[in-house]
Structure 1
Amino acid sequence: MKFSRCIGASMLIILIAMLSMYPLTVQAKKAVDVSPALNDLNHAITALQHGKSAETDYSSFKKWWQNNKTTVSKSSLDASIQLSQDISSASLDLLNGNRAQSIKSLSALRQTLQDYQSGLYGGTTKSGHQSLSSYITELGNAKQSMSQKDWVTAASQVKQLQQDWLSVEGDVVSQSQSIYTESEKNLVMMDAYLADPKMHAKALPLVEEMITSLKPLASANYGMWDAALIPIREGLEALLVIGALLTFARKANSKPAKVWIWSGTSLAVLVCLAVGVLVSFLLSVAAFGNNNSLINGWSGVIASLMLLYVGYWLHRNADIKRWNAFITSKTSQAISKQKMISFAALAFIAVLREGMETVIFLIGMAGRMPAVQLASGIAAGFGVLIVIGFLMLKLGVLLPLRPFFMISSFVVFYLCFKFMGSGIHSLQMAGILPSTVSDTLPSINSLSIFPSWYSTIPQVACLLLFIFIILKERRAAASH
């Protein structure tokens, strides 16, 4: 009952938060056609790269700006201010005759125009809900730069695509988990390829693959089950962690441990909802993108290390004699306070990691489908999680001691392996770790195995530790 009440309360709070976002949804004003301006800037940059004068093309661009400045300002004050700043910088660099700096300034100006064209600016502030169609336009701009071998611009555009991904990932994951995972991986790989002059050419097929896979999703309509699948998909792994911890606490007959675990879980839910409100009312989803990658990255790595310890502890206590000794040698509170705090911390991190994704994904869907369908979808998704959690706890208690500990330890080891890979991948998305890629490494999305030594080496280390723990405990059991 406590499990159902906790999940039910979380669901109610999330429903209220999601529905409160609908009044904020504002129809963006129609953007100005920037194709002539982009054409002028492309010619000006090309001329400078070939040692020629860019005066004619840049003058043509400035005429376009004078004719459209007022309209752009009405469409988006934020875009107008940024364009004015970029134009001032580019004009000054061209006047000083600094060719290299002029190319950089014009490229920055072109990027701002492309962002405006893509719909990244809306109303009087930067839009928090970029459409998937506009994101595909951004991909097309990056593809054009790669096709023209303008690798510097392409690298900048891919960095921007990584930041903007959070604005559209909810659209993608609600329709196809495989396309979502593959696209996120491609963003990291493109960044790595563009950072290495010898591998530049490998980036173009990846951006083409993303465009091809995302286009069919751009015109799709959302339904109730699209919203329902998000909490189910994102919450299942956190549920496995919490279920294993709660079942263990029940087998140890430790009520304080249950309180600590639920406290960590509840605190994580509140933090996720607070972030959701912050993003909805104060920040844009895109502005929060890098912070979300950092949270996912560090929480994944920390949770992985904690799961490694919990997995070892569960596997160790699979021996019935050792378990009985553990229970009888302690007071009625068989689990130490330090261990209960670690359980609470693990529950907090696991729920924070998955809950943050869930809230951000649902924010991305708010305003893009009827409020009733969104609310029904969230309710259905959490309803399924309640049923799964209830069955998990019941079956966990009914299982004999040794099978329970063995199954739980392998589930925890699996999550440890997966969290480590996905956590490091998120840190690469955030730019904390280099986006290096090796063609000799495998790529298995379901296990969060990515073709990078930065994620592969820690995962191999985890795997070797798993094997060592299993062999060690088998030897210990055989000696008894």
Structure 2
Amino acid sequence: MRRARFIRTAVIAFLFLFMMHALPADAKQNVDVSPALGHLDHAIAALEKGRSADADFASFKVWWQRNKQAVSNSSLDVSIQLSQDISSASLSMLNDDPEEALQNMRALRQTLQDYQSGLYGGRQKNHSLSSYITELDNAKQSMDRKDWATATSQVRQLQQDWLSVEGDVVSQSQTIYTESEKNLVMMDAYLADPDTRAKAKPLVAEMITSLKPLAFANYGMWDAALIPIREGLEALLVIGALLTFARKANSRAAKLWIWSGTCLALFVCLAVGACVTFLLSVAAFGSNNSLINGCSGVIASLMLLYVGYWLHRHADIKRWNTFIQQKTSQAISRRRMISFAALAFIAVLREGMETVIFLIGMAGQMPAAHLISGIAIGFGILTVIGFLMLKLGVLLPLRPFFMISSFVVFYLCFKFMGSGIHSLQMAGVLPSTVSDLLPSVTSLSIFPSWYSIIPQAVCLLIFIVVVLKEHRQSLKKHAREA
């Protein structure tokens, strides 16, 4: 309990510093870019029809020279990005390359639309849920115009920017959060195939409709408390099963290894949170977070598959007693203790990263005192749940404990595999291909993609084989004893 209180206090202290630094300063007023967008729209329309866009682009550059300093004063980031986009468009026009010019013009227009939507502010690129909805609207307009190249680029940008707003969404509706994440991957997949592009339009419309009611919601203390509770429960199940097993084996060393892996993961999460808050922006960290979640999810799933198998095998009391007697004080080998520490580290890292980023995203949208109180309550409830799990786990008879633990671990293995591969698709590591033939159950991390369904099916098959094999051996054993 003393160690748990120390960890909780450290987490709250670090997050308090993050939130204080992350409170937004007053945003500078943006320059009206409507005239510039008008010039670019005419230039893009001319290029799409095979005509010269020189006059319209020249008009845009005149606007840029007049407003460059004002734009730079409101946001240095967007000024730098616009200068780069204009240089690329000018070079392609000079080289008389209409296709590349069209692509560069669309990129330039997207930067201006992002700036107009409020996605650039101060020294970082900041997103609010309302500005993210505007971004969705821009993608929908591109789809309505059948400008599929721009729509594809916008959807991929939406995937990267999702991290900036997902804390706002998950604190209010887990269902909308999971559905939105799924839709982002499916839109990318549909847009990649000319035959399915039209299917992306209802998905972006669905996201806009579902997110709008959440855009102007007021946050309270319990909204902040629910973040660590919701994100931490699955990691707590893993750590609780490992610690209870270590206590049943009377292995103090194993418990120290598990706690070491847990504490190291918490430290890494807090360090990443500090880095994002002080050095980067949440948006800039988007694809990296998806990559970390994806890799950690797949690795944790594979490790849980082995742990679940091992727990199920030792549900037999005689086998367990033989195991303890043969190993004496070294009931759990050093290699297995290290693997337990690694599993605890990965499980906490996966959930802790999202918790920290979610809470940073909520900073400035509610009073700091309410936010800190909510975090304290959330981690306090997690501590109580963890304490009860350990006490109940030790009190359970050996066979029910191992059976329940193995089923929980296999369930987490199945879920982590699906969500991990889904995150890798969000990060762009795996193709975002989907199939209408496949089911979609977001609560179980089942997504309509062969990339996630096949590994999950393999995990489920292994679980069934293990259960049937152990059941068959148990029947044979009882038959011999009879």
TM-score under structure 1 length normalisation? 0.97
The equivalent residue for 2:38 is 39
CA 1:15–1:78 in 2, change beyond 3 Å: closer, same or farther? closer
The equivalent residue for 2:51 is 52
Task: Quote how far apart the aligned CAs of 1:479 are.
Answer: 1.9
For the Cα contact (< 8 Å) 1:226–1:377, is it kept in 2? yes
Task: Quote how far apart the aligned CAs of 1:368 are.
Answer: 1.6
SS of residue paired to 2:330: coil
The equivalent residue for 1:270 is 267
**d(CA) in 1 for partners of 2:2, 2:327:** 26
Deviations 1:43-85 (A, max 9, x none): 2112111112223332332233233222111111221122122
**d(CA) in 2 for partners of 1:297, 1:6:** 29
Say which of 112, 123, 126 aligns to 2:124.
126
Which residue identity is paired with 1:48? Answer: L
5+ unaligned residues in a row in structure 2: which ranges?
Answer: 478-482
The equivalent residue for 2:18 is 18
- Are 1:175 and 2:166 an aligned pair? no
The equivalent residue for 2:305 is 308
Say which of 411, 416, 434 aligns to 2:413.
416
Structure 1 residues 179-194: aligned runs within 5 Å: 179-194=176-191
- Are 1:248 and 2:238 an aligned pair? no
For the Cα contact (< 8 Å) 1:299–1:423, is it kept in 2? yes
Task: Quote how far apart the aligned CAs of 1:11 are.
Answer: 3.4
The equivalent residue for 2:111 is 112
For the Cα contact (< 8 Å) 1:261–1:344, is it kept in 2? yes
For the Cα contact (< 8 Å) 1:120–1:126, is it kept in 2? no
For the Cα contact (< 8 Å) 2:298–2:416, is it kept in 1? yes
**d(CA) in 2 for partners of 1:17, 1:425:** 32
The equivalent residue for 2:218 is 221
Deviations 1:430-477 (A, max 9, x none): 000000010000110100000000000000000000000001111121
Deviations 1:389-448 (A, max 9, x none): 111111111111111110000000000000000000000000000000100001101000
**d(CA) in 2 for partners of 1:76, 1:11:** 33
**d(CA) in 1 for partners of 2:84, 2:424:** 31
SS of residue paired to 1:442: coil
For the Cα contact (< 8 Å) 1:6–1:266, is it kept in 2? no
5+ unaligned residues in a row in structure 1: which ranges?
Answer: none
The equivalent residue for 1:438 is 435
Name the % identity: 76
Deviations 1:213-243 (A, max 9, x none): 1111111111101100000000000000000
**d(CA) in 2 for partners of 1:16, 1:71:** 35
- Are 1:344 and 2:345 an aligned pair? no
For the Cα contact (< 8 Å) 2:446–2:453, is it kept in 1? yes
For the Cα contact (< 8 Å) 1:126–1:284, is it kept in 2? yes
Task: Quote how far apart the aligned CAs of 1:91 are.
Answer: 2.1
Deviations 1:78-128 (A, max 9, x none): 2112212211221232233211111011011111111212222111x232x
- Are 1:363 and 2:357 an aligned pair? no
The equivalent residue for 1:85 is 84
**d(CA) in 2 for partners of 1:19, 1:65:** 37
Aligned length: 477
Task: Output the aligned Cα RMSD.
Answer: 1.3
Deviations 1:335-358 (A, max 9, x none): 111111000000000000000000
Say which of 445, 470, 473 aligns to 1:476.
473
SS of residue paired to 1:60: helix
**d(CA) in 2 for partners of 1:18, 1:80:** 28
**d(CA) in 1 for partners of 2:79, 2:331:** 65
**d(CA) in 2 for partners of 1:210, 1:451:** 18
Deviations 1:347-388 (A, max 9, x none): 000000000000000110112211100000000100110111
For the Cα contact (< 8 Å) 2:21–2:277, is it kept in 1? yes
For the Cα contact (< 8 Å) 1:3–1:386, is it kept in 2? no
**d(CA) in 2 for partners of 1:56, 1:404:** 76
Larger mean CA deviation between 98-107 and 414-423 belongs to: 98-107
- Are 1:401 and 2:384 an aligned pair? no
**d(CA) in 1 for partners of 2:12, 2:85:** 46
The equivalent residue for 1:232 is 229
For the Cα contact (< 8 Å) 1:171–1:365, is it kept in 2? yes
The equivalent residue for 1:334 is 331
**d(CA) in 1 for partners of 2:105, 2:124:** 21
The equivalent residue for 1:207 is 204
SS of residue paired to 1:126: coil
SS of residue paired to 1:81: helix
The equivalent residue for 2:480 is none
The equivalent residue for 1:451 is 448
Say which of 305, 318, 327 aligns to 2:315.
318
**d(CA) in 2 for partners of 1:83, 1:10:** 42
Task: Quote how far apart the aligned CAs of 1:2 are.
Answer: 4.5
Larger mean CA deviation between 75-84 and 414-423 belongs to: 75-84
Task: Quote how far apart the aligned CAs of 1:6 are.
Answer: 4.7
For the Cα contact (< 8 Å) 2:139–2:151, is it kept in 1? yes
For the Cα contact (< 8 Å) 1:107–1:153, is it kept in 2? yes
Which residue identity is paired with 1:283? Answer: L
Which residue identity is paired with 1:182? Answer: E
For the Cα contact (< 8 Å) 1:18–1:363, is it kept in 2? yes
Which residue identity is paired with 2:124? Answer: K
**d(CA) in 2 for partners of 1:161, 1:115:** 11
For the Cα contact (< 8 Å) 2:28–2:121, is it kept in 1? yes
Larger mean CA deviation between 387-396 and 47-56 belongs to: 47-56
SS of residue paired to 1:62: helix
